[in-house]
Amino acid sequence: MKPIKVMLIDDSAVVRQVLGAMLNADPQIEVISAVADPLLAMIRMKTQWPDVIVLDIEMPRMDGLTFLRQIMRERPTPVVICSTLTEAGARTSIEALAAGAVAIITKPKLGLKQFLSDHSNDLLNAVKTAAKANIKRLVVVEKLSADAILPPAAGHGAMIQTTQHIVALGTSTGGTQALEKVLMALPRVAPGIVIVQHMPEKFTAEFAARLNTLCQIEVREARHKDRVVQGLALIAPGGKHMLLRRVGAQYFVDVIDGPLVNRHRPSVDVLFRSVARSAGANALGVIMTGMGDDGALGLLEMRQAGARTLAQDEESCVVFGMPKEAIKLNAVDKIVPLGGIGREILQQL
């Protein structure tokens, strides 16, 4: 196999040196260029185009987000954002995911060398996953209205439903745009939704806020003891697990600390298991694009508890990892394209 050709774009010489050495140490990866800003990158890319770009956000002359959007318009290429995580920068990073970035690796302002050494596997895995990503699925996002799913509800029939019907979604790589497409297509009467999207701490609030501006339903980062109600989607906070809990006829979420499960916190398996226990046949479980197998066992538990279960199809996935593993376990009732998930959600009404 030919090594993955990587271009590093970061204005810090230390970052370029440390990341370059780390990536080149892996026999599956070859750093073909390391430059200080996007303008220099464009000059190098005229002679050799990379398979994957590792990109900083804040740089002189041209910022990473502007460069990312330009690349996605002209020649879509897998991009891994490697940027300092700050409160202000979180919104920009969410915009980068929406523009087509495959993954985000956060780096601290201090202790950079030690951090990169400790988290080298995260970066290597992100680059390898990006190299396999179906990048066209990241950059072609069709905006749908609820009319594409069903006509507007006649009268108030749908509003008499209680919160006994729950939808649980789990996703990772490629999920930011996949969730955007699914949630934007839902009307305000959609059933209550709980979501795990693998994402770093502090990013989920910005991600939820962005979706909330685009969707008819309300979307926000979950808080401990939030009630799950019709027309609301709750996204598990980065760095926390989220569980569903039933009290009488009502559902609530518990947002808790805990160890990594399947190397993730939040974990899809944790959410799905709690939904299987608390909602059973009153739930719909959906596993979507992402690498690894987080969520596969949890989805099987949901199906065994009587829930309907869906997997996003390979054609519409950026990475057909999580759905594939769930299908292998016979955890899936139905395999559907991304555009059909909204229709299936509305069957929970």
- Residues noted as catalytic: 172, 198, 294
Q: How far is CA 279 from CA 19, 61, 244, 247, in A?
A: 46, 53, 8, 11
Instruction: List residues bridging with 284 in a β-sheet.
Output: 167, 308
Q: Which residue shows structure tokens 């949890």?
A: 298
For 19, the 3-state DSSP assignment is helix
Q: In whole angstroms, give the CA distance from residue 220 to residue 218.
A: 7
- Name 102's bridge partners: none
Query: Which tokens belong to 297?
Result: 């066992």
- Give the torsion sign (CA, 322, 323, 329, 332): positive
Q: Which of 105, 73, 72, 69 is nearest to 89 (CA)?
A: 105
Q: At what angle do helices 120-132 and 13-24 cross, to 10 degrees?
A: 70
Kindly tell me the burial class for residue 188, based on how many C-beta atoms sit within 10 Å of its own C-beta (0-12, 13-18, 19 or more): middle
Q: Is the dihedral of CA 195, 197, 201, 204 positive or negative?
A: negative
Token pair 């271009």: residue = 7
In whole angstroms, what is the distance from residue 178 CA to residue 195 CA? 12
SS3 118: helix
Residues in the chain: 349
Cα separation of 191 and 344, whole Å?
Answer: 11
Q: Please work out, in degrees rounded to the nearest 5, the angle formed at the alpha carbon of residue 242 by the alpha carbons of 98 and 95.
A: 10
